[in-house]
Every structure is written in structure tokens, then in C-alpha cells.
């Protein structure tokens, strides 16, 4: 029962906000003509601020587990490389190839990871997942930027344009600035710190409203086989492939719970924003976000229940 309530408490706010966006679109308060401009606002301003805040607020010296970081980084890179090889053989259009790859490897780690681990280990410090998020989320974003630049149809055969496209991406710039902030030991004045935190906190609600307003689940506009493959890959196959080796390597407790949320959480909401701004199939990206969010309520519950049954988390 506790696991069910945990899933509901984490996922229901996401669904309700998406539904509100759909409702606002239907009654004309959030018309589709506004969606692209709001997406640009999220992609070029709010999302970079949120990422900058995530990086700058992490004290890497407080809790650093090299073996956990190494396993997480290596498995994400292996998964990404495998998908780069496999998906283009199965998906015809580049604008859909990038979306399917991103939908499988990139998870909603920030939004779901901390609440899930925090609920499992209520009353305890959750420095392990905070540390891992600070490493993995920028990595997710860097790989996503490379992915969309590679498959945008313009830069595929020009390495210089690909590198410049990655370097100019707002998410990469925000990550670099966050790391410089930490390295330099800078402290912003209170009013600026609060402004950045307030803007960062607005990112996810606005992104979910936009997703709801732009969501298209009509069967004739849905690539069912691509959607099914991405959903099953994200919430089922990826955790089934990478969690057993983690257990055999001795990861337990918060470390294993952190890996679970990294692998089994639904597709990243920010991926939908990126897909629209990078001229990819954002309708498919939005569908993957919504369906993986629905299905993961059940799959995460099962994974958590099984790992708890064997006293692994």
C-alpha cells in the first residue's frame, strides 16, 4: 500500500498538470499558437536556469561514491551507444530516430528520483541520489544535445557544425556555468539567489502545461510501433538489463534505489521541449513522456516491491 501511495503522490501531480494544460487549450486560454513561443521560453531560459541551479546547489565534496558514479556513467554510455547503432536500423526518419533514442535512455530523474528515494528513506539523508543527479542529469543533457544535432538532417556530415551546435546549446552553457560557479566558490546575494530558484521552480509546471496543450494522442497521428518500443524499452527493458548486474556488484540501499529511479523513471519532460525546439517529432516525444509516466506508476511499484522483498533497498 505504501508503494502504491508513493507512486500516486509522485505521478498524480504530473498527470493533473498535463490534463490542466489540455483543458486550457480546449477552452482557448492556452491556444496552440502560444505553445511554440512558450516552448522557446522554457528551452532557452527556464530549463537552463533549472539545470544551473541543480549543478550549483550540489556539494560534490560532501558525498562522492566513485563506484556508483562509474557504474551509472558506464551503463548510460553503453545504452546510448547501443541505441545509436540499433534505432536507425529500425526507425526510418531522423526526426523520429532521435526521439526514440532519447525516450529510452533519458529519464525524468530530477522530478521523480528525489521524491521516490526520499519517501523510501524518509527521515534519512539522501545525499547519494543528490550526488548522482548532479553527475547524470548534465550527462543526459549533453548526450541529448549531441543526439538532436546529429539527427537534425543538417549537421550529420559536418563535424564542425555538430561541435558548434553542441557548444551553443543553452543546456550545455548552463551546465558549464554551474560548474564554474561551484569551482569558483561564488555566493550570489539573497535577492538573486531567490530569483533564480523561483524561475527554476516554474520550469516543470510550465513544461507540463505546454505538453498537455500540445498533446496529440489521436491514433491516426500516432506511430504505435515506435511508441510501444520506446515505452517498453524505457520502463521495463532498461531496468531489467542494468539492475541485476548492479545487485551482483554489491549495490544496496540508497545506491541501488538511486539506480532504480535512474533506469525505470519515465521519459524526461525536458526531452519534449528539446524535441520541438530541435525540429524533431515532438508529438511522438510528448506521447512517450505521457505513456511512460502512466505505465511507470505500475512498473516502479513492482520494482520497488521486489527489491524491498529481498531487502535490497
| Per-residue pLDDT tens digits for 152-206 | 755 455 677 667 777 777 877 887 888 888 888 888 899 999 999 999 888 878 8
Higher per-residue confidence, 92 vs 129: 92
Helix (H) or strand (E) holding 298: helix 282-309
Q: Which band of pLDDT confidence, cut at 50, 70 and 90, is reported for residue 4? A: low
User: What is the per-residue burial (b if ≥16 Cβ within 10 Å, else e) of 202-211?
Assistant: ebbebbbbbb
The 10s digit of each residue's pLDDT in 204-226 is 788 888 878 877 666 666 788 99
Residue of higher predicted confidence among 192 and 300: 192
- Domain boundaries defined on the chain: 2-309
What mean pLDDT, rounded, does the chain reach?
Answer: 84
Residue 143 near residue 79, CB atoms below 8 Å:
no
- For the stretch 16-56, pLDDT in tens is 888 898 899 889 898 877 887 887 888 788 888 987 887 78
Integer Cα distance of 13 and 208 in angstroms: 10
Fold of 2-309: Na+/H+ antiporter like fold (1.20.1530)
Q: Do 18 and 290 contact (CB within 8 A), yes or no?
A: yes
The model's pTM: 0.79
Question: Residue written as cell 490542466?
Answer: 20
The cell numbers describing 92, all together, are: 526510418
Higher per-residue confidence, 172 vs 286: 286
Structure confidence at residue 274 (pLDDT): 84
At residue 11 the predicted structure's pLDDT band, cuts being 50, 70 and 90, is low
Amino acid at each position: 500500500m505504501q508503494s502504491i501511495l508513493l507512486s500516486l503522490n509522485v505521478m498524480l501531480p504530473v498527470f493533473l498538470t498535463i490534463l490542466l494544460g489540455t483543458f486550457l487549450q480546449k477552452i482557448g486560454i492556452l491556444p496552440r499558437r502560444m505553445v511554440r513561443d512558450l516552448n522557446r521560453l522554457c528551452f532557452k531560459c527556464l530549463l537552463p536556469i533549472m539545470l544551473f541551479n541543480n549543478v550549483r546547489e550540489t556539494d560534490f565534496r560532501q558525498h562522492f561514491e566513485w563506484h556508483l558514479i562509474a557504474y551509472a556513467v558506464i551503463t548510460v554510455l553503453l545504452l546510448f551507444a547501443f541505441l545509436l547503432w540499433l534505432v536507425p536500423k529500425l526507425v526510418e526518419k531522423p526526426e523520429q530516430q532521435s526521439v526514440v533514442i532519447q525516450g529510452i535512455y533519458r529519464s525524468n530523474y530530477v522530478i521523480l528520483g528525489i521524491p521516490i528515494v526520499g519517501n523510501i528513506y524518509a527521515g534519512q539523508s539522501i545525499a547519494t541520489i543528490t550526488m548522482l543527479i548532479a553527475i547524470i542529469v548534465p550527462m543526459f543533457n549533453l548526450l541529448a544535445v549531441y543526439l538532436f544535432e546529429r539527427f537534425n538532417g543538417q549537421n550529420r556530415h559536418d563535424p564542425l557544425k555538430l561541435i558548434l551546435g553542441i557548444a551553443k546549446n543553452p543546456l550545455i552553457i548552463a551546465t558549464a556555468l554551474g560548474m564554474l560557479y561551484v569551482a569558483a566558490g561564488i555566493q550570489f546575494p539573497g535577492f538573486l539567489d531567490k530569483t533564480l530558484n523561483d524561475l527554476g521552480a516554474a520550469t516543470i509546471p510550465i513544461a507540463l502545461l505546454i505538453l498537455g496543450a500540445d498533446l496529440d494522442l489521436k491514433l491516426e497521428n500516432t506511430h504505435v510501433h515506435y511508441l510501444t518500443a520506446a515505452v517498453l524499452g524505457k520502463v521495463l527493458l532498461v531496468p531489467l538489463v542494468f539492475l541485476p548486474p548492479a545487485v551482483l556488484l554489491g549495490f544496496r540501499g540508497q545506491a541501488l534505489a538511486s539506480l532504480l529511479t535512474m533506469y525505470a523513471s519515465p521519459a524526461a519532460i525536458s526531452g519534449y521541449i528539446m524535441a520541438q525546439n530541435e525540429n524533431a517529432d515532438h508529438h511522438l516525444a510528448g506521447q512517450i513522456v505521457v505513456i511512460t509516466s502512466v505505465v511507470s506508476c505500475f512498473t516502479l511499484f513492482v520494482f520497488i516491491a521486489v527489491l524491498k522483498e529481498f531487502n535490497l533497498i
